[in-house]
Amino acid sequence: MIQERKNKETVINKSQTTVENVKAKAEFKETNEQVNSSIRADKQKYVEDLATTVEKAATEGNLGQLYDTTKKLTGKYGKPERPVKDKDSRTEEQMGGTL
C-alpha cells in the first residue's frame, strides 16, 4: 500500500496537464488516507498488545518483563547520555569543548 502511494506521488510529479494533475492528486489523497488509517490501526493494535503484556506480567509477578514493556509504552527506552571523557577522565566541558 505504501509503494502504491509512492507510485501515485510520482504520477503527480510527472503529470503535464492540469487535468492530469488534479486527477492524480485525488487518487493520491484517497490512497494516502487509506495508508494513514492503516498505520493508525496498526499502532493502536501494537499498543493494546503491549498493554495486554503488561497486565499479564503484573498478574504473574514477572517484574522484568513488566518493567521493559512499561518502558516501551512510555517511550523511554534509550540509554541515558553520559559525558564524553578523555584518558584523564576530564569531561568535554572541562577541556573547553574539544577533545
In a domain, 83, yes or no: no
Structure confidence at residue 60 as a pLDDT band (50, 70, 90): very high
Predicted confidence at residue 88, as pLDDT, reads 79
In a domain, 60, yes or no: yes
In a domain, 54, yes or no: yes
Burial class (CB in 10 A: 0-12, 13-18, 19+), 23: middle
Cell numbers placing 45: 493494535
In a domain, 38, yes or no: yes
78: left (phi over 0), alpha (psi -120 to 50) or beta: beta
Report the domain count for the chain. 1
**Count of alpha carbons within 13 Å of 86, Cβ hemisphere only?**
11
In a domain, 43, yes or no: yes
For residue 48, give the 3-state DSSP assignment. Answer: helix
The closest alpha carbon to 28, from 60, 58, 5, belongs to 5
Range of the domain at 45: 2-74
In a domain, 25, yes or no: yes
Instruction: Rank 7-16, 33-42, 90-99 by mean pLDDT and report only the highest.
Output: 33-42
